[in-house]
Amino acid sequence: MPEVIKPSNRPNEEYKILQLLGKGGFGTCFKVENQVGEVFALKAIEKQAFGQNLDEVLNEANIHFKLKHPHIVNLYDVFDDSDYVYFRMELCSNQSLFDMVVNRGELTESEVRLYMIQIIDAVGYMHENNIMHRDLKLENIFLSKDLDLKIGDFGLSTELNSTERKRNACGTLPYMAPEILTPKVGYRFEADIWAIGVIMYAMLFGSMPFGRNTDSMLVDQILNADFEFPSDVEVSHTAKNLISAILNPEYGARLTLSEIRRHFFFRGPTPVQLPISALETAPNFEVISKSEVWAYVHKDHPIVTKSEIQKFLFGSL
C-alpha cells in the first residue's frame, strides 16, 4: 500500500495515509487526509482478492450510497487505482462499540438506553428502505467524535422485497438468529432485531449471551435461545425482560422495533450525549445541566416531573 493514494483519472486528488484503523475480511481501513486537509476513513479492497466477490463489493457500495442517516456511517465516494477499490467514508474517531465494551467491561443502563435508541432508529430506517444489514455486531458499530453511534460495514447487506425470505446463512455466528441457522425456514428483518438483542446483552454484561466452545455447541445454544444472565453484574429486571423478549427463538413472536422502543426499559433516565471519558469509565449522571433536562423533556423521556424541572431551574433540588 503506497503512503499516498492517487485515484485513477483524478490528477488533482490524493489521500495521504495517516493511520491504520483496522483490517477485516472485506478490506483494510485507514485514516487519510486529502490535499486540502480534510480527514476521512478510507476502506481499501484489493482487486486481486475480488475473485467471485466483485458483485458483493458493488452491492455494498450501492446499498451504502442509498443510506443517509445520522446513525449510519456516511459513504461519500468510491474510486480505484490500479490495485485497489476504495470507499471514502465518514471518519468515526473513537473506534467501535466493541472497543468501548472491552475497555469498560459493561455499560450503565442509562448509556445502553441512549445507544439502543440510536441503533433502533438507524435499523428502523434501513428496514423502511427494505435493507437488511445481516451483520450487526459490536465491531460494526462505530463511535463518532461525540460518542454517537454510527452503523457501518454493509458488506453482507441485502435488499428484500415484500415477501422474500433469505436462506443463505451469513453473518457472525454469535449474533445469528435461529432462523438464519435453519435454511428451510429462511429469514427476514427479524434476524437484525435478534442481533440487537445480542448487542444489548453484551453492552450490559460485558460478555456474549451465546459463546460455547465449539461451533456446533454454539448453534445448539442459539437454536434453543439457551442463555443466562450473569449473577455478578447488577442489571435491572426490566432490562433483562427486554433482552429475553428480543431473543425469542420464534421470529414471529419476537418484538418489533417499535415494540422494543415502547418497552418500559426506555422510561428510565437517558442522557442526550456521553462524555469522552465514557470510553474508559462510567459517566457520573448525578450532575445534569439545565439544557440536558430540557432535552430529556423534548425527547419525550418521562424521567422528571414538571415540578422537579421547575425546582431544578429556579431553585436547588
To the question of whether residue 6 is assigned a binding role by annotation, the answer is no
What is the DSSP track for 155-190?
Answer: TT-EE--SS--B-S--S-GGG--GGGG-TTT-B-TH
What single-letter amino acid sits at 21? L
Question: What contacts 194, CB < 8 A, 6 or more positions away?
Answer: 175, 176, 177, 178, 246, 247, 251, 254
Rounded-to-integer distance, Cα 85 and Cα 39, Å = 18
Q: Give the number of residues written for the chain.
A: 317
Among the listed residues 135, 146, 153, 215, the single catalytic one is 135
Catalytic residue status for 135: yes
Instruction: Measure the CA–CA gap between 269 and 244, rounded to whole angstroms.
Output: 21
**Which amino acid is residue 301, in one-letter code?**
H
User: Annotated binding site: which residue ranges?
Assistant: 43
Cite the active site residues: 135
User: Annotated binding site for ATP: which residue ranges?
Assistant: 43
